[in-house]
Structures are given as structure tokens and as C-alpha cells.
Amino acid sequence: MERLDLRKLTGAHLKPYRSIDDEAPLPDEGGVLVSLARLKRDRAALAARKSPYGLLVNGDEKAAHLAPHLEDLAVIAINFGKFSDGRGFSLAHRLREDHGFSGEIRATGALIADHAEFLLRSGVSSVELADPIITAQFIKRLKLYSVWYQDAHDARPTALELRHGRTRKRLAS
């Protein structure tokens, strides 16, 4: 698996996280991703570990269900089960917009290069891709556009802001 930061177009600095089944023992070291059920059940054990932990959810999860746990999470990995299912985009947007989550949101699963800009614009900060060819396609897609008309959660100023020399506070790029 290759990890790619959508804002920096590299994955060298991204930490690897290993998915842990609900009944598997927690490893002593290394970043882990757990389900919401396991997070609720083993919150104290996860917090006691020295390594970061995150949440692995499907795109159909409600952001409000994740909200009580956001301050403890280093990453939220949203699994896109099918490339045609857009609920993961909405979840990422809700986590950023409604709940102020500033940590890493990583998209996984059935992703295609056509998703690249939409993932970035909806608040996803990184992707995990199975194929180096798809990674190269993602990078190519993200270099296509430099100006946007609509405001979003990435750090790019809109065309109007560029024209008038004003910008608003956003996530750092």
C-alpha cells in the first residue's frame, strides 16, 4: 500500500497504521486503526499506549457518532467500499465543518484518480492506494488545477480571493 498526502503530493512523512480486528490483541507499538465499537470498549487501553491510534470507519458512519472521540484520534480512515459511493466525501466534510476535526483524514478502499480533487476539497488529507500507477494518476490529477471558484477545506484560495488579494483562514497546506 502506498500513502499519499494530497496537499504535499508525497507520502514519505505519513505514518503507517495497521488495522486491528475487534478481538485481536493490541500490539505494544505502532499506530493502529480500530473500529468505533473497539474504540468505545478499549478506550483506556488505547490511550495508555505510547503509539498513536485512529479510527477505521465506512463512509456511511454518522459524523455525530464519532464526535465524542475526535480529540483523542490521530487519524480517521474512511473506507470507500465502492468507487461510486460518495458518502465518504460527506463524512470527511462533516468531520471538518461541523466538528472541527483538524487531524488526518485518510481515504482507503475503492478509490480512483477521478476522486483526487473531490477528496482534497472535501477535507481528506491523505489516501492509501494499492497500486503505484493509481498513485501517479492521483498526483497528475491534483496538478491539473491551480484555481478554484468554490471555497472548500483545502488551503487553496478561490479565484475571487486571488482577484481581490484577500484570503480566509483554512487548513494549512
Q: Domains of the chain: which residue ranges?
A: 2-146
Please give the model's pTM, rounded to 2 decimal places: 0.87
Please tell me the predicted confidence (pLDDT) of residue 151: 73
**C-beta of residue 53 within 8 angstroms of C-beta of residue 33:** yes
Q: pLDDT tens digit string along 37-96?
A: 999 999 999 999 999 999 999 999 999 999 999 999 999 999 999 988 999 999 999 999
Please indicate whether residue 148 or residue 112 has the higher confidence score (pLDDT): 112
- pLDDT tens per residue, range 19-34: 999 999 999 899 999 9
**2-146 adopts what CATH topology?**
TIM Barrel (3.20.20)
Measured CA angle at 151 (ends 147, 157), to 5 deg: 45
Q: What is the pLDDT confidence band of residue 134, given thresholds at 50, 70 and 90?
A: very high
